[in-house]
Chain A
């Protein structure tokens, strides 16, 4: 396996990107439902929103643990720099996920006095999304590193740019959740989701556009990556496709289609994610630590690769199985709540 060694960090970056990508999409729509709690006070609507993801949220969140655990395992140096640098948003995210996660069980157990857990679910989901945006923004901005360790202050991540990323992610998760509800519900709730989807879509397009203009202006290396020849010839389809997908989603929403919007938005997320990866490569801690510097021992990477090659397909298999088991629209009054 020695021939494999130089590629191990790249393979692991791919595995982690897969985990984070799956996390953002899967936990994205259930965090988004929490965000949508703010848009209605109707109790049945809130019940149905929660019921639509109750069997899945736990598995969805596990991708976050794989993302974090995988970063520790494959890139311990990057993990030990990024985590303390983004201490505040990460701790806020964890606290928010606690409130959001227990609300799935407590809200039902507390009925009819569940007002507090509605707030915990909505507030926790929104705060978690915002904090994940801060993490993303803080990461793109770069981290002060000295002697292979974080050497900055606790609020280094905080900036207008990070706030923009935070709002962008909140809007993105809200949009995903709207599209999820179009597939999983019918009647008033679906109509409500369709009405909300458009403003969320506009907000997402706006944030993505500003980030795409802001980063190359601010970081010459990113401008070089995208606008130098021949890169520009290969890369222009990416923003073009993102724009086209956004238009497709817009049209599908107007036409009343139930399934195209969700998959269109997933596509937008994946393209934005790919754009970020292209901007950052080969850095894992942007501007300071690259994949090869951050990588763990080859023996560790190989040992885990064996496990991942066998287990990841199995995990995907039973994840799909569970989604299949609970397929179809939530039926009024029957539901699985």
Chain B
């Protein structure tokens, strides 16, 4: 494959967005968790909640910084690398992004100052309010990003004039058909991801016998949230799948590896394993369950849905990537369900802090949410190909007039800088976790360093 500028721009966008998505999906959940801890502290006065809030705020600060800087990059790439997309879809995407900046970015960025540096300088209620504002801001941000993305997946509410999209009905644009479930799916995923990180940190402390009370709180809060959200997420995912079948049949056919239309009444099998072969238009080494494909997608025994061959080869997404990414995501989802069920069972038996096998596994579950989100994002974004905006703008026609070398050099620089920055970030987060929550001295508020990270630095050097 030749390295043309379009392909390189796609690689660059995929690379930068994959790194970026890790941080918002973590900070959406984490900011809410911190706000809950601070609120609980305000009600009960338990110092442990405050210590936990401070501990997680340090980790939040590092994650948020990485999310911000990698997000600024994305907002500019629409212009630098996808200028024809900006010309064609700018009238729609532009205002949605502008509303994100106005309603979300400023809210979170401004109140972050009070959240991080305000403890001990402003009254407790204001510090709590700032934390709630940050949590709300991160969720509002997801709202606008997913509104824009959903419109690109299935554009409605506009009309085309001389090849440029003009808005007709903003409510239809924002609440396009795939938006509500896509938004619910993403936000739920973000909360689950954070819950698993919290559980993992709790388990790590429990195994090491450090901070047992904090560890128990984290395990319980994480599992308690996950036991509600994981089954709910599977339900939302299923409903989202039905919407995909309705509005993006080519993507769904790729997800299912569904090449041929079946005879009337035969039903579509579910391909459990297999290797989609785009040359022969079949699945190699396929292991399939008859009728189950129909059952999942149409919720009926012999329901039919379009197959890949209903679309011209040029209009089909790359099948293997979508097929495998989807199975990976769903696999993680069910593994999470099993893990959470086990954890809640142990909790009910009173063995949560004693079962070392469970704790050992739990200490290592922190990445699973991120992996599920990245693979889900791949399903939805690669599945939209070859379109940037489904039906009227192909990726190949959306790129900027750039030379191959320009994009190659910028991509190499992004890989280098992200490599350094994100490895360092993960290293620092890990160090903060090792240090653990610092005890809160009642009545010594002003004597404590109110900047969380230097607090960490001090406790590390002790």
Contacts and interface: CB of A to CB of B under 8 A. Distances in A.
Interface in A57-94: 58-59, 61-62, 64-66, 68-74, 76-77, 79-84, 87-88, 90-91, 94
Contact of B401 (A90, A101, A149, A315): A149
B90 interface: yes
Contacts of A308: 98, 102
Given A84-B402, A104-B65, A61 B109 contact: yes
A69 B111 CA distance: 21
Contacts of B121: 325-326, 336
A101 B100 CA distance: 21
Contacts of A235: none
Interface string A285-310: 00000000000110110011001100
Given A79-B86, A80-B90, A73 B401 contact: no
Contact of A77 (B75, B80, B87): B87
Nearest to B85: A80
B68 A54 contact: no
Interface string B71-94: 111011011110110110011111
Given A69-B101, A296-B94, A322-B114, A336 B421 contact: no
Q: What does DSSP make chain A's interface, helix, strand, loop or mixed?
A: helix
Contact of B94 (A83, A97, A148, A300): A300
Interface stretch (A38-46, A108-116, A181-189, A272-280): A108-116
Interface in B411-462: 413-414, 417-418, 421, 424-425, 428, 431-432, 449-451, 453-454, 456-457, 461
Contacts of B98: 66, 69-70, 72-74, 304, 307-308
A101 B113 contact: no
B5 to A, nearest CB: 10
Most chain-A CB neighbours within 10 Å: which of B122, B454, B456?
A: B454
A297 B62 contact: no
Q: What does DSSP make chain B's interface, helix, strand, loop or mixed?
A: helix
Interface string A121-133: 0000000000000
A106 to B, nearest CB: 6
A307 B174 CA distance: 14
A54 B115 CA distance: 12
Given A66-B101, A297-B167, A326 B117 contact: yes
A90 B69 CA distance: 14
Contacts of A329: none
B84 A108 contact: no
Contacts of A110: 424, 428
Interface of B: 61-62, 64-66, 68-73, 75-76, 78-81, 83-84, 86-87, 90-95, 97-103, 105-107, 109-114, 116-118, 121-122, 166-168, 170, 400-403, 405-406, 410, 413-414, 417-418, 421, 424-425, 428, 431-432, 449-451, 453-454, 456-457, 461
Interface of A: 51, 54-56, 58-59, 61-62, 64-66, 68-74, 76-77, 79-84, 87-88, 90-91, 94-95, 97-99, 101-102, 104-106, 108-112, 148-151, 153-154, 296-297, 299-300, 303-304, 307-308, 311-312, 315, 318-319, 322, 325-326, 335-337
